[in-house]
Structure 1
Amino acid sequence: MGSSDEKVVAVIMVGGPTKGTRFRPLSLNIPKPLFPLAGQPMVHHPISACKRIPNLAQIYLVGFYEEREFAMYVSSISNELRVPVRYLREDKPHGSAGGLYNFRDLIMEDNPSHIFLLNCDVCCSFPLPEMLEAHKRYGGMGTILVIKVSAESASQFGELVADPVTNELLHYTEKPETFVSDHINCGVYVFTPDIFTAIQGVSSQRKDRANLRRLSSFEALQSATRSPPADFVRLDQDILTPFAGKKQLYTYETMDFWEQIKTPGMSLKCSGLYLSQFRVTSPNLLACGDGTKSATIIGDVYIHPSAKVHPSAKIGPNVSISASARIGAGVRLISCIILDGVEIMENAVVTHAIVGWKSSIGKWSRVQVDEIKVLNLVLAHLWQEKQWVLRMK
């Protein structure tokens, strides 16, 4: 099972400004991983989950944002969790596996026995200690967190087939055109250092094929447009698919919640999921109030300490109020994210919406969004105008 002094490191892939375009306009002025869900930056939730891993030595954030964009957050979260967090900037996208390999020397500085790899835009309970224990029992190179979904939605993700007894990964295919399985890849992994050998093998095979193949100029051009560079290695197609069925990869199924955070509408849903999780993990972060000295709180609500909320306001469920927000008398908030510096004036109602930074909602206004498409249009308008002022005529 391994000794108690074995060290573990975690790597969280945060992407970069050329990715996550579906999350715009929320990611135009702030890196997507720093957008607040349940009052905490998106990346904060997997980082906090990593804190629960036994013998955790280091957390690395890997992406191609400018370092200055993460410097302040990395410093504060390292002090808060008392675990070293370091941002590693890629010179260019290397793929999920290639990005890991690119920083192998740094990742292996502490000589870890296991390496966790997480995608930042995943929302789940992150059962990392349980995954690690299962992985040690399996004895393979890697273990993948999986979940069962509806057959209709499975094709949007990586579908897989595992042995029902041993949990060995038998088959993996990324976003298949025909139905393969209702079990999908959650984007959370734990590996032994053997993963670096596997990635290096994929890269070396590509280089060898390129050197040995004699092509005409036209064929070479066609091949270049189809084949990724040797140092761009995808975890799903280049590692999971070829290593499936070789007793190297295994699965660990979660029965808890899981979502992928791709659009502004999904951020609202995921904020609610994390707020619900706070009941167990961080009840101190949830607001409470009965409408006497403080606002009436219904369900799971986060209110930043610097926000000012009138005692006659009614907040919740599923509401997150960010720093320096001002919530006036008689305001009703349901299932919404209120970002920094927002002012919501007396008797306004906001439901199922994200109110952008430093916006203003006028007295007696009603903001109610029922469709995600409409929500995106409203947010785009918010961003262009820089200020949203709704007033009753």
Structure 2
Amino acid sequence: MGSSTEEKVVAVILVGGPTKGTRFRPLSLNIPKPLFPIAGQPMVHHPISACKRIPNLAQVYLVGFYEEREFALYVSAISNELKVPVRYLREDKPHGSAGGLYHFRNLIMEDNPSHIFLLNCDVCCSFPLPEMLEAHRKYGGIGTLLVIKVSPESASQFGELVADPVTNELLHYTEKPETFVSDRINCGVYVFTPEIFTAIRDVSSQRNDTATLRRVSSYEALQPATRIPADFVRLDQDILSPLAGKKQLYTYETMDFWEQIKSPGMSLRCSELYLSQFRLTSPHMLASGDGTKSAIVIGDVYIHPSAKVHPTAKIGPNVSISANARVGPGVRLISCIILDDVEIMENAVVTNAIVGWKSSIGRWSRAEGVYNSKLGVTILGDSVAVEDEVVVTSSIVLPNKTLNVSVQDEIIL
């Protein structure tokens, strides 16, 4: 039929659900974690816009168990903006990273794609997807995973793997090992051929078989089920580990940045990485500060067109300012995320902090994080009012609080 240039590709982005993201409080109280803005764009926007660079991309699916209404507006907006159909598929319950893919296999295969990308939403990287696809075609396996070299100390927090240095075949895979295996880790970004569905089906049917065999003692039948359900399949432990060393899976190493966005503090670091990437990929997203009427801008800064920033303010590096925020005269912002409808009054300072929606910071006040302290960054939830001349240091403040005295290293509930 057609050549490989006409083969369609689809992408699936796993967005998780409301039981996850507890480490992301108090910010996830307002908004699903995947929609939290990083570098001025929802977290899930970065992998979606990376998918746009894949040749012959037919469709992007977001798979998770948030309510559909939470994603409806974003999905229609991003489909129009990128001119790629994006659909949200809601799981009835958690199926695991591979189980969720399998659960929607008929929809995913609707366009008869030759390849399926699978990405985790809470990953921050440059997403070299076209390059991965090219490498994957050369390898000829059923899957290729993105890997990166990390420090031996941090490797054990992730899936460690060993690959053949010549062929890049995945030889061994172990999730969060007790002892050091390798300084190469799994980035949570994959490309598969449709054969992946057969591999997932085999795991499910093996589970069903063992479940049938084990229905022996009546005592066991009375115990609460500790068995993993047959339709819950984890990609790492259930698919990658058993298929390693069988000429089925290969690796593609990125030399770029990579982080996992587990906590609000990490979103500040990832905002910095994405803002610096904008210099190469979307310079129009960055504020310049060269006009006489605009504020002084240092380094990489994103300012939403609707935000009002006083010309005497000094902004950057690593700052993103969301819609309708108001930044007053003499304000200094460094390494922070300012969310929608925030007001920062004259001569206030915000550094290493996230300021939640509709919050306000009074005159001569400070919201700052000290990295080597217990909590690190300062996080103000939704609608927090910091009064004039108050200093908030390395603290987390839950929504709807008013602070009229200074606090340090505190969680204000």
Partners of 1:361 and 1:390 within 8 A in 2: no
Name the structure 1 match of 2:313. Answer: 313
Moved more, 209-218 or 338-347: 209-218
Q: Deviations over 1:171-201 (max 9, x none)?
A: 0000001110110000000000000000000
Partners of 2:354 and 2:378 within 8 A in 1: no
TM-score where L is the length of structure 1 = 0.96
Closer, same or farther in 2 for the Cα pair 1:152/1:352, shift >3 Å? Answer: same
The CA distance in 1 between the partners of 2:317 and 2:201, in whole Å, is 49
Superposed displacement of residue 220, structure 1: 4.7
Partners of 2:370 and 2:377 within 8 A in 1: no
Confirm or deny that 1:271 pairs with 2:271: yes
Name the structure 2 match of 1:205. Answer: 206
Output aligned runs, 1:1-393, within 5 Å.
Answer: 3-220=4-221, 224-225=225-226, 227-290=227-290, 292-371=292-371, 373-375=374-376, 378-379=379-380, 382=384, 384-388=398-402
Superposed displacement of residue 20, structure 1: 1.6
The CA distance in 1 between the partners of 2:112 and 2:63, in whole Å, is 19
TM-score where L is the length of structure 2 = 0.91
Amino acid at match of 1:353: A
Which structure is higher in RCO with an 8 Å CA cutoff and minimum separation 6? 1
User: Aligned with 1:80: secondary structure?
Assistant: helix
The CA distance in 2 between the partners of 1:289 and 1:373, in whole Å, is 35
Amino acid at match of 2:186: N
Superposed displacement of residue 81, structure 1: 0.2
Superposed displacement of residue 78, structure 1: 0.2
The CA distance in 2 between the partners of 1:297 and 1:84, in whole Å, is 36
Q: Which runs of 5+ in 2 are unaligned?
A: 385-396, 407-413
The CA distance in 2 between the partners of 1:321 and 1:377, in whole Å, is 16
User: Aligned with 1:294: secondary structure?
Assistant: coil
Aligned residue pairs: how many? 391
Amino acid at match of 1:281: T
Q: Which runs of 5+ in 1 are unaligned?
A: none
Q: Deviations over 1:76-107 (max 9, x none)?
A: 00000000000000000000000000000000
Amino acid at match of 1:258: W
User: Aligned with 1:110: secondary structure?
Assistant: coil
The CA distance in 1 between the partners of 2:165 and 2:219, in whole Å, is 48
The CA distance in 2 between the partners of 1:274 and 1:305, in whole Å, is 19
The CA distance in 2 between the partners of 1:221 and 1:82, in whole Å, is 54
Closer, same or farther in 2 for the Cα pair 1:162/1:267, shift >3 Å? Answer: same
Closer, same or farther in 2 for the Cα pair 1:376/1:222, shift >3 Å? Answer: farther
Task: Please provide the CA RMSD for this pair.
Answer: 1.8
Q: Deviations over 1:105-151 (max 9, x none)?
A: 00000000000000000000000000000000000000000000001
Closer, same or farther in 2 for the Cα pair 1:390/1:8, shift >3 Å? Answer: farther
Q: Deviations over 1:287-316 (max 9, x none)?
A: 011473100000000000000000010000
Partners of 2:306 and 2:325 within 8 A in 1: yes
Amino acid at match of 2:341: G
Closer, same or farther in 2 for the Cα pair 1:221/1:192, shift >3 Å? Answer: farther
The CA distance in 2 between the partners of 1:345 and 1:267, in whole Å, is 24
**Identity across aligned pairs (percent)?**
82
The CA distance in 1 between the partners of 2:325 and 2:200, in whole Å, is 47
Amino acid at match of 1:35: F
Superposed displacement of residue 219, structure 1: 3.8
The CA distance in 1 between the partners of 2:403 and 2:343, in whole Å, is 10
